[in-house]
Amino acid sequence: MKIWDCFATALRTLLSHKLRSILTMLGILIGVAAVISMVSLVRAEQTMVKESFESLGANLIMVTPGASSARGGIGGVLSSESTLTLEDAEAIASNAPSVLMVAPVTQTSTQIVAGRENVGCITLGVAPNYQYVRNFEPEQGIFITEQDYKGRARVVVLGDQLAETLFGQMSPVGQSVRINGRQFKVTGVLKAKGEAFGFEDQSAMIPLTTALATLSSGRTSSVEHTIQAISIQAKSKETVNAAQWEISQILRQRHHIRPEEEDDFTVINMGEVSRIADQMYGIGELIMGAIAGISLLVGGIGIMNIMLVSVTERTREIGLRKAVGAKRRDISTQFLTESAVLSFCGGAMGVVLGWFLLKIACAVVANMGFPFSAVLSGDVVALAVGVSIFVGLISGIYPAVRAARLNPIEALRHE
Amino acid sequence: MIELDNITKVYKAGRTEILALRGINCLIKKGEMVAITGPSGSGKSTLMNIIGCLDKPTSGEYRLDGIEVSTLNDNKLAEIRNKKIGFVFQSFNLLSRTTALANVEVPLIYGGSGSRRQRASQALESVGLAHRAKHRPSELAGGEQQRVAIARALVNNPSLILADEPTGNLDTQTSKEIMLLFKQLNQQGITIVLVTHEPYIAAYTQRTIKIRDGQIEALG
């Protein structure tokens, strides 16, 4: 019996029981669709988060005031603590050998007005090197310059979304805005960043010196200037951990923290966070895959069940085939092919359904405001389809062997 | 053609042994048309299965076309059934979801050469059913279904056709037509053995072998 005959017979049999075939396929179909869509979604999210981390800047360390135990999230949250000062940043810059650049940041809640638009936003006071530490690129105009910084210039660089809110399609560069009532000239607009840490897309940036002089007057002591964050770039990937340690030591010393006391600041190594997030997504992918794998198993049991029913139903056919010359191998091949074709079709339809689900998920997420695109990865598809054929063959073995072992005389007498 | 030499068959039902055949000696020559008759339980079905290579005797020798088949393994027996024997059953045993033509093709799937479709068509034509090739068994009358089954038995050019109560499910008129078809095939040189308990069916054959209690009562 040739392979082609097996396929032709299997297809004919499956087509003659359309409803039953489809119901049987459903298990595998749902399993494969689940594996594909879930794993692809987790992967897409992982890629997105990874890109967001990368867009934050290379070898980045963030220092924020307050103990880590009292913090809410990473960035974006205005800390109410005021334990960090501009002088801390300067001390780090001059005393930590593993550090390349130090960018102190103030954060102030402000009202910003342009023409008729009036929005609340966070205004960051930054140094010119903030652009390099945090990997910002101006889309239009330029970033804050040394000159602006030294001269406490009333200039502002807008985040991509903020610029759109204030000016729409119009180019904001050269226009003026009012921040907390004071007039600023827009000198640049930043390129949009990732989604996970995109609060900067909605912020305004002004020179730190200007910010300290005009916005945070209430919080400035006579000796030291309170700031809300320090972004630090380590010299290299290898020195990030050393830099983290140096920063902690310098700050503990400056803040007079005794050895048994907790830090009153938090140092976050973004590379570390990124790695942990990566690991977590890896685990997530595995768990999703395993859960979806269980539905493949259930699908396999469904196929075995139906194949057993089919063998019983077709006992006379098996007897007849044996009588006219089919060998055991011919019969077992026929039933194995049937279950493999069944699960392969289920798998193939599952790929289509999985792709469809993925597109829907992307559309829903995008609708919620996160541009999100997931693609079917070839390896997941290959794995899912391979597993589904494997499941089909495994669950077909027992029914096929049972069919092959039937005694033709008894099979022909079967009612 | 068929040489049976002291064939016995013992079935085990639990602890008791049932002696279905008690030493059958019989010779059927090439080109003969023979009926095997006997009351139910006489062992004629068992004998039929052994002649058809569906079952092996417990002891004794059976030569089909000069080949000693009582010692062959399952795969060899399957080949013999495919190449040398055509089966016709009382209940037709057609595959209900396929066409007459596809039904006739089935033995060719497991052996045989040349264009299957063509050979199956020829076989259907020889039983006068060429015009019904695309019909399914459920769309055919009983006599037509049996003709399809006969075409299937013929398709691999067997030297022996074994028919087990071939007219058992047919009315008298149709039975006559089927028997005439068998006679016609016999005249073309095919050996035909049929099992029946209808005397008028047995009358179509050249001789009748009578079986009773697992032994041959008369060789005709």
Tell me the per-residue pLDDT of A8-19, one tens digit each, with 9 for 90 and over.
888 888 888 899
- Which of B52, B75, B152 has its CB closest to that of A327? B75
Residue A326 and residue A335: Cα distance in Å, rounded?
13
CB contact A16 to B (< 8 Å) = yes
Q: Where are the domains of chain B?
A: 30-57+79-219
Tell me the per-residue pLDDT of A115-148, one tens digit each, with 9 for 90 and over.
888 999 889 999 999 988 888 888 889 999 999 9
Which pair of tokens denotes residue A53? 């981390």
**What pTM does this model have?**
0.73
Half-sphere exposure of A76 (CA within 13 A, CB side): 12
Average pLDDT on B111-131 reads 90
Tell me the per-residue pLDDT of A243-286, one tens digit each, with 9 for 90 and over.
999 999 999 999 888 888 888 888 888 888 888 888 888 888 88
Buried b (16+ CB within 10 A) or exposed e, A371-391: ebebebeeebbebbbebbbeb
CB contact A326 to B (< 8 Å) = yes
The full DSSP string for B186-200 is HHTT-EEEEE---HH
Beta-carbon separation of A323 and B74 below 8 A: no
Beta-carbon separation of B87 and A323 below 8 A: yes
Report chain B residues whose CB lies below 8 A from the CB of A412. 89, 93
Find the residue in A nearest to B105 (Cα).
A324
Find the residue in A nearest to B52 (Cα).
A323
Q: Which of A320, A324, A410, A414 has the highest number of chain B CBs within 10 A, making it the mutation to test binding with B?
A: A324
Amino acid identity, position A141: G
pLDDT mean across residues, chain A: 86
Average pLDDT on B38-60 reads 91
Report chain B residues whose CB lies below 8 A from the CB of A332. none
CATH number of B30-57+79-219: 3.40.50.300
Report chain B residues whose CB lies below 8 A from the CB of A334. none
Each residue's pLDDT, cut to its tens digit, for chain A (415 residues) gives 678 888 888 888 888 889 999 999 998 998 889 888 888 888 888 888 877 777 777 788 989 888 765 544 444 445 556 788 888 999 999 998 999 999 999 888 889 998 888 999 889 999 999 988 888 888 889 999 999 999 999 999 999 889 988 998 888 999 999 999 899 999 999 988 755 556 788 889 999 999 888 876 555 455 578 888 899 999 888 888 899 999 999 999 998 888 888 888 888 888 888 888 888 888 888 888 888 788 888 888 999 999 999 999 999 999 999 999 999 999 999 999 999 999 999 999 999 999 999 888 888 888 887 767 777 888 888 888 888 888 888 999 999 999 999 999 999 988 7
Q: What pLDDT does residue B213 have?
A: 92
CB contact A319 to B (< 8 Å) = yes
**Four-CA torsion A288, A294, A295, A301, nearest 10 degrees:** 170
3-state secondary structure string across A330-366: HHHHHHHHHHHHHHHHHHHHHHHHHHHHHHHHHHHHH
Residue A99 and residue A113: Cα distance in Å, rounded?
38
Average pLDDT on B133-140 reads 95
Q: What pLDDT does residue B113 have?
A: 74
Q: What is the ipTM of this complex?
A: 0.94
> CA–CA distance from B65 to each of A362, B36, B80, B84 (Å)?
72, 19, 10, 9
Beta-carbon separation of B87 and A317 below 8 A: no
User: Quick check: A323 and B87 in contact, CB under 8 A?
Assistant: yes
Residue A68 and residue A62: Cα distance in Å, rounded?
12
Q: Which of B94, B83, B91 is nearest to B129 (CA)?
A: B94
Beta-carbon separation of B106 and A320 below 8 A: yes
Report chain B residues whose CB lies below 8 A from the CB of A326. 78, 109-110
Report chain B residues whose CB lies below 8 A from the CB of A9. 109
Beta-carbon separation of B109 and A409 below 8 A: no
- Residue B161 in this model has a pLDDT that exceeds 50: yes
Report chain B residues whose CB lies below 8 A from the CB of A1. 109-110
Q: B145: phi > 0 → left, psi -120 to 50 → alpha, else beta; which?
A: alpha
Q: What pLDDT does residue A4 have?
A: 82
Q: What pLDDT does residue A77 have?
A: 47
Find the residue in B nearest to A319 (Cα).
B93
Beta-carbon separation of B111 and A319 below 8 A: no
Beta-carbon separation of A326 and B54 below 8 A: no
Beta-carbon separation of B54 and A328 below 8 A: no
- How near does any CA of chain B get to the CA of A322, in Å? 7
Report chain B residues whose CB lies below 8 A from the CB of A318. none
Report chain A residues whose CB lies below 8 A from the CB of B116. none
Place of tokens 């013999």: B80
3-state secondary structure string across chain A: CCHHHHHHHHHHHHHHCHHHHHHHHHHHHHHHHHHHHHHHHHHHHHHHHHHHHHHHCCCEEEEEECCHHHCCCCCCCCCCCCCCEHHHHHHHHHHCCCEEEEEEEEEEEEEEEECCEEEEEEEEEECCCHHHHCCCCEEEECCCCHHHHHCCCCEEEECHHHHHHHHCCCCCCCCEEEECCEEEEEEEEECCCCCCCHHHHHCEEEEHHHHHHHCCHHHCCCCCCECCEEEEEECCHHHHHHHHHHHHHHHHHHCCCCCCCCCCEEEEEHHHHHHHHHHHHHHHHHHHHHHHHHHHHHHHHHHHHHHHHHHHHCHHHHHHHHHCCCCHHHHHHHHHHHHHHHHHHHHHHHHHHHHHHHHHHHHHHHHCCCCCCCCCCHHHHHHHHHHHHHHHHHHHHHHHHHHHHCCHHHHHHCC
Q: What pLDDT does residue B143 have?
A: 93
Terminal Cα-to-Cα distance of chain A (whole angstroms)? 27
Beta-carbon separation of B107 and A324 below 8 A: yes
Find the residue in B nearest to A14 (Cα).
B97
Average pLDDT on B121-150 reads 94
Average pLDDT on B55-77 reads 92
Beta-carbon separation of B82 and A324 below 8 A: yes
